[in-house]
Amino acid sequence: MRLLIQRVSRASVTIGGEIRSAIGKGLMVLVGIEEADTQEDIDWLTGKLLRLRIFDDEAGVMNLDVQQVGGVQQIEGEVMVVSQFTLHASTKKGNRPSYFRAAGEAISRPMYEKFVASVEQALGKRVATGEFGADMKVALVNDGPVTIWIDSRNKE
């Protein structure tokens, strides 16, 4: 399972011209799922995501996680999770990406839904989402920019 995490000042998902969901300051998370992914991957990535200290503290040092984003004001940041099978693109042969490592819908949809539920439970509030399999227009303002890639196979 792979996550591409972006610290944002705002993000939104539009489907068919209608805004599906939007967040303010927080994390925009794209998630890609492989057939071999398990609940263990979900648990590890949920913990890593929510404890990732990439928000500035009062001294301007990236020392706060998404739940501490408001510092003294105790305003929690928001999280948006969008499925993204292209995170498993392989460009080893030629210039047309292959997605053979990405799980099919029968595996990836339930895993995506479990990941969203896991993040919501750990965060203690709703997580904004896209719509699995839909043609989505994702808009965001990357704050920093800060973009981090995490793969549960590497556990770096």
Residue from 85, 91, 115, 147 carrying the catalytic annotation: 85
DSSP-derived secondary structure letter, 70: T
C-beta separation of 47 from 62 below 8 A: no
- Residue 85 annotated to the active site: yes
Burial label for 73, CB within 10 Å (0-12, 13-18, 19+), is exposed
Task: Specify the 3-state DSSP secondary structure of 54.
Answer: coil
- The yes-or-no answer on residue 100 being catalytic is no
Is 55 assigned a catalytic role? Answer: no
Residue type at position 60: G
Options 46, 84, 115, 129, the catalytic residue: 84
Residues 12 and 139: beta-carbon distance below 8 Å: yes
Q: Residue 105 forms beta bridges with which residues? A: none
Of residues 86, 100, 129, 132, which has the active-site annotation? 86
Query: Catalytic site residues?
Result: 84-86
